Amino acid sequence: MAAGSGSRYGKLKQFDDLGPEGEFLMEFAIYDAIQNNFEQIVVITKKENVSFLENHLRERLPKNIKLNVLAQELTDLPNGVDYKGDRQKPWGTAHAVWTARNVINGPFVVLNADDYYGQVVYKKAADFIKSNNEAYALLGYTLKDTLSEHGSVSRGVCKVEGDNLVSVNERLKLVEKGDKIVDEDTGLEFTGDEQASMNFWVCRPSIFDKIDAELKVFLQDEDKIASSELYLPFMIQEMLQANEAEVKCIPSGAEWFGVTYASDREKAVQNLKEKTEQGLYRTPLW
């Protein structure tokens, strides 16, 4: 998913040249996925970025990899639904995933273009897809390892029983205070050892029908249309609670970093440089 506006970052972070040879952060995710035998890459972005991004990636990716670069547009809606308002921001991550409904016909992984998830997580996702024909999965990250030194972050904090995901609760202003992590929005405290959702999901095509139905309901609510969004974790959680899906939580055991704030950039550049020097990535990447 690469359709965000980067309001806190100050520019389109999806296309920032963070790699040693100017690679975008998403290119490392694509590289790691290909190394683990994923064969199709679908990028959801803004309409004005489709041509640029398609050309950029096609000249870099191996020829055997199928590439779809799709625009997330406000006018792309379920049959029988129309919208003629002046809303500017997208309908949310669930709608971004729904945008890919016509090019995906099997299990797939969803992730953010502006996050680095670690190489091992793609193998875990691939192994899960091969060994499980029905369940969804969340690849979780240890909460204390997902914070930013430069400001509060929003994270989905997971409740897990065994290997089953029970719920994901969005906490909007998480900061580290002493040996605790506090959500300044609610006052809730966390140890930091909880699993957090960083939007790395294994999904099934059944998610498209769920989002389609929820979009129809969402677009009948004038208040929601004004500024709300449909989030993918909420869709999956609703399916979970309605016994429409089984969802596993798999600890990634991986390092995560992202670029929420402009001041996160330096650390991301350094991390990618070090990983390249360690031989984890070749340079140039492609």
Q: What is the pLDDT of residue 84?
A: 83
Q: What is the pLDDT of residue 148?
A: 82
Residues 6+ apart with CB under 8 A from 212: 78, 98, 101
Burial group, residue 5, by CB count within 10 angstroms (0-12, 13-18, 19+): middle
φ, ψ of residue 280 in degrees (nearest 5): -75, -25
6 in any annotated domain = no
Nearest-angstrom CA–CA distance, 40 and 98: 16
The residue with tokens 């909420």 is 234
The residue with tokens 């990535």 is 281
Nearest-angstrom CA–CA distance, 253 and 274: 19
Alpha carbon dihedral 17, 20, 25, 29, in 10-degree steps, equals: 150
> What residue ranges of the chain have pLDDT lower than 70?
4-13
**pTM of the predicted structure, to 2 decimals:** 0.91
Alpha carbon dihedral 158, 161, 167, 173, in 10-degree steps, equals: -20
284 in any annotated domain = no
Q: What is the pLDDT of residue 9?
A: 39
Nearest-angstrom CA–CA distance, 154 and 176: 13
224 in any annotated domain = yes
CATH number at residue 39: 3.90.550.10
Q: Classify strands 247-251 and 189-190 as parallel, antiparallel or unpaired.
A: unpaired
How many domains, in total, are found in the chain? 1
What does the mean pLDDT of the chain come to? 92
Cβ(76)–Cβ(162) below 8 Å: no
Cβ(232)–Cβ(97) below 8 Å: yes
Token digits of residue 170: 């969005």
- Provide the domain limits for residue 134: 13-277
Q: What is the pLDDT of residue 10?
A: 41
Span 49-105, pLDDT tens digits: 999 999 999 999 999 999 999 999 999 999 988 888 888 889 999 999 999 999 999
282 in any annotated domain = no
Q: What is the pLDDT of residue 8?
A: 45
177 in any annotated domain = yes
Span 55-66, pLDDT tens digits: 999 999 999 999
φ, ψ of residue 230 in degrees (nearest 5): -100, 120
